Amino acid sequence: MPRLAFDPEKTAPILISGRSMAENKTGIWRSIRPQIDKEKCTHCMVCWKYCPEACVDIASGIPEINMGYCKGCAICADVCPADCVEMVEEVAR
Amino acid sequence: MRKVLMGNHAAAVGVKLARTDVVSAYPITPQTQIIEMLNDLGESGQFTGRFIKVESEHSAMAACLGSATVGARSFTATSSQGLAYMHEMLHWVSGARLPIVMVDVNRAMGAPWILWTDQTDSLSQRDTGWMQFYCSSNQEILDSVLMAYRVAEQVLIPAMVVYDGFTLSHTYEPVDVPDQKLVDEFLPKLENAYALRPDTAEAFSALPSPKEYYRLKARLDHDMTRALGVFEEAGKRFEEIFGRRYRLIEPYRCEDADTILVVSGAPASTAQAAVDDLRKQGCRAGLLKMRAFRPFPAEALRDFVRPGTRLAVVDRNYSQGHHGIFCEEIKSALFPLKSRPEVYGFIAGLGGGDITPELLKEIWKEADEGRADASTANWMEDAR
C-alpha cells in the first residue's frame, strides 16, 4: 500500500536550513538596473534608507548597489532628490 | 477579582495577564477597543509588551510572524474584512508553526457594507491551519485567551479566539479576573525550541522538496489532532487553578433529550434559557455548545450522539450554495456512524439579526416535530 510511512514525532515541524538566505542571490530576477550618476549624487543617503533589499552600500560616500540582491524595483530612482538614478534595461544574458 | 467588563476589555485583560511580548494590530470595528485598551494599559505601565504600529492587517500579521519567529509571545486582533486581508499570512504562520494568538471579533462580510455580527469571516479561514475556539460569554473570552496560548504553544499551532461583535464585544458582564500569580502558574514563559537565534545563520521555511512539504503538512495534521487532547488537558489544569472547566463540546441538559440545539458563540448562552423554557413546558430539550471548530471535535461528537436523537444546528454563518458551516462539518463528522442522528440545519441572524430564545424554541420545535427540511438549509428569522 502506498501509505505515507513516517513517524510524525520524529519529523521536525518546520524546515530549518543551516545555510544563510544571503546565499540566495535574488538579483538574477532583475530586468532593469539602477545606474547612478556619481557627479550628480549629493550623498544624501535617501536611497540607502528606502532600499527594501538593504543592498545599498554607502561606506565609501557614493552609493554602491549590490547587484547580487538588487531586483531593480526602482524605488531608489523614485526617491532620489537629486534625480541621479536612472533605470536601464538589463542586456539579455 | 470580579469586574464588570465588556468582551473586548476581557480579551485585552487576558492578553495582559498572558504577559504577551508583542502586539501588532490595525483598527477595525468591532475589535478596536482591545487594542486601545492594551495601549492604555501600556501607557500606565500595567502592560509591558511592545506595540508595533502598522498600516494594514496583512502587515499586522506579518509583524507578529516576525516577533513569534524570535520566540516572542505575540498577539493581534481583527474582524471581518481585516481578517480576510490577513488570509495569505494566516497560511504562512501556521505553516511556520508559530503559536500566535489572535482574537477575531465576528463581523459579517461585505458587500454590502455592514458592522453587525456573523461568523462567516472566521469560518472562511477554516483551511488556513489555525485553531478556532468560540466563546459565548465575556468570562470565556478572557479564559480562552489564556487557554489558547497554552494549547498553541504546546502544539506550535496558531489559535484564533472568536466571539460575536457587539453581542459580546461591546456588552458588559461580570468577569472574574484571575490573579497574575495563578496565570503565571497556568501559562509559563514561552520557550520555543525552534525560535530564531541571532547568533546562528539559519533560514526558515525555505524551498522544500515535495516529499519534505508533504511530511510537514502531515506533521501539522498530526499536531492539530493532538491539540484535541492537549486542549482537554489544558481544560483540566485550568479548572484546578481557576475553578472553571472548558471542553471542546459542552452539553447542557442533554441526558434524556430527544432533540438537541447545537449552537456556538453568544447564542449558545441564549439557548440555555430556551432549553430551560422548553423543559418547563415538558419538552425533552437539550443544548450542545460547540467551542472548538478547528481542530474539529469529530470523535467527541460521535461519542456524544445517540441514534434516534435529532440535532438542530443553528448557524449564524453560511457557505453560499451549500449549508451552514457548522452543520456541514457536523454531518461530515457523523457520516462514519452506522446509525446516525437526524441533523437539521438552520440559518439565523446573518448580519447581526437577533437570535432570541423565542426563535431558538421555534427552531427546536421544527426539528423535534420533523417540520424542518433535513436536505437543505432552513432560513429562520425572529418575527419581530
Of the pLDDT bands very low, low, confident and very high (cuts 50, 70, 90), residue B180 is very high
For each of chain A's 93 residues, which pLDDT tens digit applies?
A: 789 988 988 888 998 888 877 888 999 999 999 999 999 999 999 999 999 999 999 998 889 999 999 999 999 999 999 999 999 999 865
Whether residue B111 lies within 8 A of chain A, CB to CB, comes out as no
Residue linked to cell 526602482 = A74
Q: Do B149 and B212 belong together in one domain?
A: yes
Contacts of A22 in chain B (CB under 8 A): 201
Contact A47, A56 (CB under 8 A): yes
Q: Do B22 and B155 belong together in one domain?
A: yes
Tell me the C-alpha distance between B353 and B176, whole Å. 29
Domain count, chain B: 2
Q: Do B371 and B276 belong together in one domain?
A: yes
User: Which residues are paired to B203 by β-bridges?
Assistant: A17
Partner residue facing A15 (CB), from B156, B214, B216: B216
Joined grid coordinates for residue B361: 424554541
Distance between first and last Cα of chain A? 48
Q: Does residue B270 belong to any structural domain of this protein?
A: yes
Tell me the C-alpha distance between B292 and B368, whole Å. 25
pLDDT attached to residue A92: 65
Give the mean pLDDT of B107-117: 97
pLDDT attached to residue B367: 98
- ipTM over the 0.90 cut-off: no
Cis peptide before B112 (omega within 30 of 0): yes
Q: Confirm or reject CATH 3.30.70.20 for domain A27-89, answering yes or no.
A: yes
Q: Do B233 and B256 belong together in one domain?
A: no
Q: Does residue B195 belong to any structural domain of this protein?
A: yes
CATH number of domain containing B80: 3.40.50.970
- For chain A, the domains span 27-89
User: Is the model's pTM score more than 0.80?
Assistant: yes
pLDDT attached to residue B149: 98
Q: Do B85 and B58 belong together in one domain?
A: yes
Q: Do B196 and B230 belong together in one domain?
A: yes
Q: Do B18 and B155 belong together in one domain?
A: yes
**Burial class for A61, CB neighbours closer than 10 Å (0-12, 13-18, 19+):** exposed
CATH number of domain containing B315: 3.40.50.920
Mean pLDDT taken over chain B:
97
3-state secondary structure B262-321: EECCCHHHHHHHHHHHHHHCCCCEEEEEECEEECCCHHHHHHHCCCCCEEEEEECCCCCC
Residue of B nearest to A23 (CA): B203
User: Which residues are paired to B260 by β-bridges?
Assistant: B286, B311
Residue linked to cell 545606474 = A35
pLDDT digits (tens, 9 = 90+) for B252-289: 999 999 999 999 999 999 999 999 999 999 999 999 99
Partner residue facing B218 (CB), from A8, A18, A24: A8
pLDDT attached to residue A93: 54
pLDDT attached to residue A60: 86
Q: State yes or no: pLDDT of B306 exceeds 60.
A: yes
Of the pLDDT bands very low, low, confident and very high (cuts 50, 70, 90), residue B337 is very high
Nearest to B323 by CA among B380, B368, B271, B375: B375
Distance between first and last Cα of chain B? 39
Partner residue facing A17 (CB), from B156, B202, B216: B202
pLDDT attached to residue B90: 98
pLDDT digits (tens, 9 = 90+) for B126-179: 999 999 999 999 999 999 999 999 999 999 999 999 999 999 999 999 999 999
Interface test with B, best of A15, A19, A20 (most B CBs within 10 A): A15
pLDDT attached to residue B309: 94
In our burial notation (b when 16+ CB lie closer than 10 A, e otherwise), range B242-271 reads beeebebbeebbbeebebbbbbbbbbbbbb
pLDDT digits (tens, 9 = 90+) for B223-255: 999 999 999 999 999 999 999 999 999 999 999
pLDDT attached to residue B204: 86
Q: Does residue B296 belong to any structural domain of this protein?
A: yes
Q: Do B337 and B269 belong together in one domain?
A: yes
Nearest to B155 by CA among B99, B81, B71: B99
Of B208, B242, B276, the one marking the end of a domain is: B242
Residue of A nearest to B200 (CA): A18
Q: Does residue B384 belong to any structural domain of this protein?
A: no
Q: Do B236 and B310 belong together in one domain?
A: no
Residue of B nearest to A5 (CA): B215
Contact A58, A29 (CB under 8 A): no
Q: State yes or no: pLDDT of B290 exceeds 90.
A: yes
Determine the structural domain holding residue B305 and report its residue range. Answer: 249-379
Of B218, B242, B266, the one marking the end of a domain is: B242
pLDDT attached to residue A11: 86
pLDDT attached to residue B202: 81
Q: Does residue B185 belong to any structural domain of this protein?
A: yes
In single-letter form, the type of residue at position B328 comes to: E
pLDDT digits (tens, 9 = 90+) for B76-90: 999 999 999 999 999
Tell me the C-alpha distance between B55 and B59, whole Å. 7
Dump the DSSP string for B88-103.
HHHHHHHHTT---EEE
Cβ atoms within 10 A of the Cβ of A12, count?
12
Q: Do B202 and B80 belong together in one domain?
A: yes
Joined grid coordinates for residue B117: 455580527
Q: Do A14 and B201 touch (CB under 8 A)?
A: no
Q: Do B352 and B216 belong together in one domain?
A: no
The H or E element that residue B33 is part of is: helix B32-43
pLDDT attached to residue A46: 96
Of B221, B242, B263, the one marking the end of a domain is: B242
Q: Does residue B27 belong to any structural domain of this protein?
A: yes
Phi, psi (rounded to 5 degrees) for A36: -100, 130
Q: Do B235 and B87 belong together in one domain?
A: yes
